[in-house]
Chain A
Amino acid sequence: MKISNVLKAEYEIYRKSSLVKFISIITFSLSVLFGFIIFHSSSFTGSLSFLALMKGYENGFNFSISLIYSIFNILIFFMIVTASTTVSDEAQKGTLRTILVKRLKRRELIFGKSIFLLICFFTLIAIISLLSLAVGGILFGFSDISEKNYIIHSNLSLFYNYFLSLFLMIFPISALINLCLFFSVLFNNNLMSLISCFGVNFIFYIFTELDFYKYLFLTNYILYPLKAFQKMAQGLPLVWSPQIWYMIIVTVIYLIGFLVLAVIFFRNKEIP
């Protein structure tokens, strides 16, 4: 019951935050703008070059897929910043002390914040997804593009894999939220928390470049569901298993591990 109270309180705090409104508007405007640029550009370079393959295959799903793929890194960046400062910011401002003298168990606060951030992230993804589907549908329609030579996915297949990819994001994103939350608990200073969190993610990223070790590091799996989006856009076949189960197991270990660590450190933390 207490966790639901934390969720309600977090909702009230974030709902009235002008920064959150600003980030939401900017994220959405950028995403729509980015999506249109991609669809109306004739040349793509670097990691976006695969999008050039979609030229001539405009469809509501493809529009949404390319848009989410394009803005995913921006969303992850905002999510890391928010999650890695969620406790440290309250410690810095003193509101953590105001809350913790209340009848609230520290673990409930951590669980509540973790669940709230996850809900926030997926609400944002869901809103962007639905709006982009609506915009894409209005502009390009949902005509079946499977008959065209390159794109092998039918609308049904796109529909299924699109939502499966979104669902599978829950695991790596939850793990990433809990990793950030752990660093947020460690420090009473936002800057320290942010530097540590980005630093660890960067180290993880370096390890993902190594062939064997990459399977052990969370960073390897954060973009895993996104790769499905890339394949869908390219018209390549999708093979989910058995890698899908390996991804779920590894990310759940991270998810639980960092949540437990955050709770243990927070339980013994001295509040200034």
Chain B
Amino acid sequence: MKEDFLLRIKNLSKSFGGLKVLDDISFDVLRGKITGFLGPNGAGKTTTIKILLGLINRDMGQIELNGKEIQDVKNLKFKITIGALMEFPSFFSHLTSRENLKILSLSDNYQTDEKRIDHLLNLVELKHAKDRKIKTFSFGMKQKLAIADAFLNDPELLILDEPFNGLDPNSMDILNQILKNYVREKGTVFISSHILSEVEDLCDWIILLNKRKIIYKGVLKSLISQKSLKEMYLKLTKDENI
């Protein structure tokens, strides 16, 4: 069966000061599915996500949304509602979590009422800390707030960079359930992670990046039919290193 893609990335390349960090990568993000973006540290996952979110410029490559090419990638977020979580999220430390979400919804030009903000804070189990200043938050709590922030604008596409970082097992389970429910309601998720156990349980489609290049893309089940994802991951990335 032909897969329906929401985003198609073709021949994407990026260098920093002559050092190539992405080398001609192509992949699809499937509509209504969870696409996992895996790879070791420094493989280029965060760089790819930063390009998609318009934070950095690409050197080469095309990005298509619903089959139409987006000329300026910075405009992608204006063509589709995106909820994003970046690795090591930052917030205004002198403000509370509610105040931060209020400001971020203003930046997004999205009308978010207090009820929705409270609902999202409840969802990520930050109800008790809604009036606490961010400077008193642990890394895990900031990560939870970043998850709430990603859902703030009721997104059609979620782009998450290492969302499980710093979360305790209970919180990981909660995020897992939130994402599954979100996809059930026709949402699309593009998620980078190195916590393979979570990815294995969550993703339908896998893209494996190593040393700036894609070494596998396809259905997760066919990759791990005989071995676990961890074993296959280690095998594939090790083969590439030889």
Q: CB distance B153 to A97 under 8 Å?
A: no
List of A residues within 8 angstroms of B81 by Cβ: 103
Contact pick for B90, options A17, A18, A97, A104, CB 8 Å: A97
B141 within 8 A of A: no
List of A residues within 8 angstroms of B108 by Cβ: 102-104
Within the complex, the shortest CB–CB distance from B192 to chain A, in Å, comes to 14
Q: CB distance B94 to A102 under 8 Å?
A: no
A199 within 8 A of B: no
Q: CB distance B94 to A17 under 8 Å?
A: yes
B106 within 8 A of A: yes
A151 vs B90: C-alpha distance when bound (angstroms): 57
Give residues of chain B (45-84) contacting chain A, Cβ–Cβ below 8 Å. 50, 53-57, 74, 77-78, 81-82, 84
A104: nearest chain-B partner, CB-CB = B107
Contact pick for B88, options A6, A13, A94, CB 8 Å: A94
Within the complex, the shortest CB–CB distance from B111 to chain A, in Å, comes to 10
A interface bracket (residues with beta carbon within 8 Å of B): 20 to 34
B149 within 8 A of A: yes
Mark the stretch among B27-35, B96-104, B215-223 that contacts chain A.
B96-104
List of A residues within 8 angstroms of B91 by Cβ: 95, 98
Within the complex, the shortest CB–CB distance from A188 to chain B, in Å, comes to 12
Contact pick for A101, options B86, B88, B95, B110, CB 8 Å: B86
A103 vs B102: C-alpha distance when bound (angstroms): 14
Q: CB distance B104 to A103 under 8 Å?
A: no
B75: nearest chain-A partner, CB-CB = A105
Q: CB distance A9 to B107 under 8 Å?
A: yes
Q: CB distance B53 to A13 under 8 Å?
A: no
A5-B106, A9-B107, A103-B108 given; A98·B54 CB < 8 A: no
Within the complex, the shortest CB–CB distance from B25 to chain A, in Å, comes to 19
B42 within 8 A of A: no
List of A residues within 8 angstroms of B103 by Cβ: 9, 12-13
A9 vs B107: C-alpha distance when bound (angstroms): 7
List of A residues within 8 angstroms of B88 by Cβ: 94
A271 within 8 A of B: yes
A99 within 8 A of B: yes
List of A residues within 8 angstroms of B107 by Cβ: 5-6, 9, 99, 102-104
Q: CB distance B92 to A13 under 8 Å?
A: yes
A16 within 8 A of B: yes
List of A residues within 8 angstroms of B86 by Cβ: 97-98, 101
List of A residues within 8 angstroms of B226 by Cβ: none
List of B residues within 8 angstroms of A5 by Cβ: 106-107, 109
A93: nearest chain-B partner, CB-CB = B90
A12-B102, A98-B149, A271-B55 given; A103·B110 CB < 8 A: yes
A92: nearest chain-B partner, CB-CB = B90
List of A residues within 8 angstroms of B149 by Cβ: 98
B52: nearest chain-A partner, CB-CB = A101
A112: nearest chain-B partner, CB-CB = B107
A270: nearest chain-B partner, CB-CB = B56
Q: CB distance B109 to A2 under 8 Å?
A: yes
A13 vs B133: C-alpha distance when bound (angstroms): 13
B90: nearest chain-A partner, CB-CB = A94
A156 within 8 A of B: no
Give residues of chain A (75-104) contacting chain B, Cβ–Cβ below 8 Å. 93-95, 97-104
A8 within 8 A of B: yes
A5-B106, A93-B90, A104-B109 given; A16·B99 CB < 8 A: yes
A1: nearest chain-B partner, CB-CB = B109
Contact pick for A13, options B77, B78, B84, B95, CB 8 Å: B95
List of A residues within 8 angstroms of B56 by Cβ: 270-271
A268 within 8 A of B: yes
Question: Interface centre among A13, A102, A103, by most B CB within 10 Å?
Answer: A102
List of A residues within 8 angstroms of B77 by Cβ: 101-103
Within the complex, the shortest CB–CB distance from B31 to chain A, in Å, comes to 21
Question: Interface centre among A93, A98, A268, by most B CB within 10 Å?
Answer: A98
Contact pick for A100, options B54, B93, B99, CB 8 Å: B54
CB pairs A–B below 8 angstroms (18 shown): A1-B109, A2-B109, A12-B102, A13-B92, A13-B95, A18-B94, A93-B93, A94-B88, A95-B90, A98-B86, A100-B55, A101-B86, A102-B77, A102-B104, A102-B108, A102-B153, A104-B107, A270-B55
- Contacts A6-B107, A95-B90 given; 10 further ones with Cβ under 8 A? A5-B107, A12-B106, A16-B95, A16-B99, A94-B89, A101-B54, A101-B82, A102-B153, A270-B55, A271-B55
Q: Top 4 closest A-B pairs, CB basis?
A: A94-B90, A102-B108, A101-B84, A271-B55
Contacts from A to B (Cβ < 8 Å): 1-2, 5-6, 8-9, 12-13, 16-18, 93-95, 97-104, 106, 268, 270-271
